[in-house]
Structure 1
Amino acid sequence: MRDWWQATFPQGRQSLTIIDANGYPVQIAYGEKGVGIPLLLVHGLGSWSYNWRHCVEPLSQHFRVICFDAKGYGFSDKPMYPERSDHQIIEMQRVINALCNEPPVIVAESLGALVSLGLAQAYPKLVKALVVVNVPIFPESLPHWGMLLLSQIPFELAQTIDSLRLTYLFAPLFKEVMAVERRSVLYDPSILTAEDLDWICYPFTQLPGTIAKAAQEVQIAAREIEHLQANKPNLISKIQSALGLIKCPTLILWGEQDSWYPYSDGKKLRDRIPNSKLEIIPNCGHDASFGAASVVTAAVLKFLQDIVPRD
């Protein structure tokens, strides 16, 4: 199997050290391609940079495209200690400070989009423009049975699964389960290839710690949603209440057939963010960065043509 990082980015997979939200140094995997204004592609829960595989090349013709794996995901470090609910916002800010010499355009999907909204609120001077795709901004529950299962697994059990390399030993079965899950978020499931599945599963089957960190992130999400529904303090309601503070140009993209979060959420989000636009993408499920990559890319470039000068 070819090295996706090497095939996609001129310098292949690179590594950056940041201080995480807990005060510890961690290695962040990233790749970049193109020159000019930086454009960050931010993945969602359980995913990694590979999900943007079809967007890197066309966007890199106009921008310096940077894909990074958030801590705990993909090829980045997976430290085994408790996390605060806003750790990704803090760590994304530190990635930007380390890699970008000017405020970047941020294009983010799903949980990454929620994190990016929080970043634009907390660090408004760090964001030139924002594109968010299928954002879990008004969730009522975890949207998938796999997430529900992970949310119930004790962290110690998830660590044991990792330490025994059970996902490696049962990789064919794991890939079959993952194939069902990934096809469920695509409008056209037939576009998912065997190579796609190999790379999507690679961190889970080959890189210890991935399952445990995925379980931890899902459990954080479950707790946040539970607190949101119970009107207890939580990060989601904090982001909701501060949406009016986002002043940068913002494009909201939503898959018309998103079975996880309805596109009516996109309309509510547009109404709360000043200077924002909403586009509903037809024939598109929750996984828009792959399932509707060409449409997403075209929408991003059209949105930015009058906002961000480029070559």
Structure 2
Amino acid sequence: MKSRMLSKRVALIATALLAVLTAVTVPIAYAWEGLGSSYQSQYLTRVESRYVETDLARFHYTRIGTGSPVVLIAGGGLWGYSWRDVAPALAAEHTVYAVDLPSQGFTELHREDFAYDLPAMSEAIAAFLDAVGLDRAAIAGHSWGGAWSLYFAEQHPERVEQLVLLDSPGLDAEKAPVTPLFTTPLLGELATNLTTRSFYADSIRGTFHNQHLVTEEVIDELYAPFSQPANRDGFLSLWRNLDYRLTDVGLTRITAPTLVLWGAQDTWLPASQAHQLARRIPNATTTVLPGCGHTVHEDCPAQTNALLTAFLH
């Protein structure tokens, strides 16, 4: 009885402290958020930046190469820059689209009622494919981008030629260790809005095993779009709304040949999930790359590109 009372008291104290912290820091957080980043992307001066208008959003994307279409979808808090090493490698045989979905990069959402859940992100994928005239394409998604791609492939198997999932959640299983930080009311708002460039850089380094690859340019390119209020708000909503029970129950509906690719040193999602996914998806194969972290295609580009080129050939 005493221990139960003590636990309740500790919980009450923690709640009170969080309320005080919120009252003091939230105004600062939103002021900070409004400043954003003044960095101008150097990457976009080296590629052709494109936009396509839809009722749902003004999608930003890049396109390179010729051949059968491949659509690349980056992970949460990232954007098309994440595919800078992958897109040129695939462009020899494919027309490669790297698209920013709502909450990413330079895409501008038009609908205020957008749900930021798996059905909504699947709808966004469909809207982009329609807008650029793709009835069917190979789709590769990383992390959250993989989860969105997975759900889209379950709902629209006729539109997915091949599917690549890179360190992608999709099982009703273990989640990233930082999940409670963003899903807890008030604490999630604080964590999102107080994410400075330095804090963001630490988070990105945590997704790499080869951390020397996380240069100042990489951080600048990735952080600038994330620093925008609309992208931060969408990022937080996704943490709270993505329900992987929906993808888990639909795995057998996937008809496209599927490659599940994972970094063995992924500290966000255990590599064991790669094998579980591949066992559940018809016509799926899996490869786990040693010495690679969660952002496997940026952490180990040479190995990843070789596997993707062979699979999509």
Q: State the TM-score, normalized to the length of structure 2.
A: 0.80
Contact 1:255 1:285 in 2 (8 A): yes
Q: Deviations over 1:70-119 (max 9, x none)?
A: 01211111455451522000110121122144511111111111111111
The amino acid of 1:52's aligned partner reads W
Aligned mates of 2:134, 2:168 — CA distance in 1: 27
Q: Which residue of 2 aligns with 1:274?
A: 282
Compare CA radii of gyration and give the structure with the larger one.
2
1:1-311 equivalence runs, <5 A: 3-8=42-47, 12-20=48-56, 26-78=57-109, 80-81=112-113, 83=115, 85=117, 86-138=119-171, 140=173, 142-145=175-178, 147-152=179-184, 154=186, 174-205=196-227, 207-221=228-242, 224=243, 236-305=244-313
Give the 3 Å change call, closer, same or farther, for CA 216–117 of structure 1 in structure 2.
Answer: same
How far apart are 1:297 and its partner, in Å?
1.2
Q: Deviations over 1:242-294 (max 9, x none)?
A: 21121111111111111111121111111111111111111111111211122
Aligned residues: 271
How far apart are 1:155 and its partner, in Å?
11
Is the partner of 2:108 in helix, strand or coil?
coil
Is the partner of 1:301 in helix, strand or coil?
helix
CA root-mean-square deviation: 2.3
Aligned mates of 1:281, 1:157 — CA distance in 2: 35
Aligned mates of 1:71, 1:13 — CA distance in 2: 17
The amino acid of 1:294's aligned partner reads A
Q: Deviations over 1:189-230 (max 9, x none)?
A: 11111111101111133x342222211111213xx3xxxxxx
Give the 3 Å change call, closer, same or farther, for CA 150–118 of structure 1 in structure 2.
Answer: same
Is the partner of 1:149 in helix, strand or coil?
helix
Give the 3 Å change call, closer, same or farther, for CA 128–284 of structure 1 in structure 2.
Answer: same
Q: Which residue of 1 aligns with 2:13?
A: none
Aligned mates of 1:261, 1:138 — CA distance in 2: 11
Aligned mates of 2:167, 2:188 — CA distance in 1: 31
Structure 2, unpaired ranges of 5+:
1-39
How far apart are 1:299 and its partner, in Å?
0.3
